[in-house]
Homo-oligomer: A and B are copies of this chain.
């Protein structure tokens, strides 16, 4: 299952930090990359620095026509899931998801264009309570992958400069 994030409605300045958290979490939890519907180059920079240091091939691609990206994705056989607190609760929909299909996860900031509800194959809530798109995305990525027998927390990142040696207390980082 290839996973790509589509970040919609990102506002330069206001959303920089949250979108960076969305990107870093997506990378750490096994997504391949993030399409960013914004001209904000800062996110791309933070995420390439993360991959440079810590490995892997996660990418951020700035896009200008998100509808076209969804269209191309679907034409290539991929599925689209839109995260929204108003959708069907994840536990009630996760069994419908075919782990063989590639999936695009749409993560909105602030208001999203209403058309997205019709374009998505699923509108999914990670619990129907207000919380955080970072939390929703992370739990979704965790549950999707553990359901297919992979633990995203055990993922190895090829390349990069440094890695953590897990410790009972304190910090240890070694050069790769």
Interface residues of A (CB under 8 A from B): 17-18, 21-22, 24-25, 27-29, 50, 54, 84-92, 117-118, 120, 123, 125-132, 134-135, 137-139, 142-143, 151-155, 157, 163-164, 166-173
Contact = CB atoms under 8 A, between A and B. Distances in A.
A163 to B, nearest CB: 7
B169 A155 contact: no
11 contacts: A27-B129, A29-B127, A29-B131, A86-B164, A86-B172, A91-B153, A117-B169, A123-B169, A127-B155, A128-B164, A142-B143
Contact of A127 (B143, B152, B167, B170): B152
B142 A129 contact: no
A128 B153 CA distance: 8
A47 to B, nearest CB: 11
A21 B135 contact: yes
A130 B21 CA distance: 10
A167 B88 contact: yes
A170 B125 contact: no
A86 B142 contact: no
